[in-house]
Structure 1
Amino acid sequence: MAMAGGRRRDGRGWTVHAPFAGVLLLVAVGALRIVQYHWREGAVLVGLALFAAGLLRALLPTEKVGLLAIRGRTVDIVTCGLLGAAVLYIALTISGGPFDA
């Protein structure tokens, strides 16, 4: 529950969600590049955002990662790493067809 000054009863402020906001900002920039028909650059940014999420989850304590903590630490790190690798692999290896740029 929120209280005056943006602090919750447990003492954590809104800054605990800053890592998630940074990852979300990177995803938004990637989505913008995709909408501008630079799909490969956008997909690379989304893949890098997933890697950044995993790295932040690995480096920051659970109390400081906010919405990046979904499951256990190990599961979050492995999931973000594998999804980031898959997106980067697909973005960097597709050639030919209507998406070739």
Structure 2
Amino acid sequence: MNEAETTGKHRVARLSAGQQYLRSHLPMTVVSALIVIAIAFVAWDRWRRGALIFGSAALVAAAFRLCLPTVQVGLLAVRGKPFDVAALAAVGSAIMFLALTLDVS
């Protein structure tokens, strides 16, 4: 092999490692961004919207955990896949249900 072929192969390997890093942190970044948006709404006294966004963040986390392999979900993998999906879906659904049904006058 000549030097150009070797350099090209190393460059591909570095891109693959960078893409792997991004793939493994993207789900947690998306969920974290939704949580920050929810906190901002609650801070601006829009608690219902904030709660709906927070509940949707939990449901998005459940969807990521269900659809992606454990290597790609990063910190969203806490226990086994069935437990994580069930717990996140239950918490997200409960938060959204409460946000939609509570009537604060």
TM (normalized to structure 2)? 0.78
Aligned residues: 89
- Computed over aligned residues only, the root mean square deviation of the Cα atoms, in angstroms, reads 1.7
Distance 2:24 2:98 in 1: 32
What stretches of structure 1 move > 3 A for 4+ residues in a row? none
2:72 — aligned with what?
Answer: 64
Structure with the higher fraction of residues in helix conformation: 2
Shift in Å, 1:14 = 5.1
1:18 corresponds to which of 3, 21, 26: 26
Match of 2:79, as an amino acid?
A: R
Match of 2:49, SS state, is helix
Identity across aligned pairs (percent)?
Answer: 32
Tell me, which stretches of 5 or more residues in structure 1 are unaligned?
none
Tell me, which stretches of 5 or more residues in structure 2 are unaligned?
1-13
What do the CA deviations read for 1:20-56 (whole angstroms, capped 9, x no partner)? 1100100110110000000000000000000000000
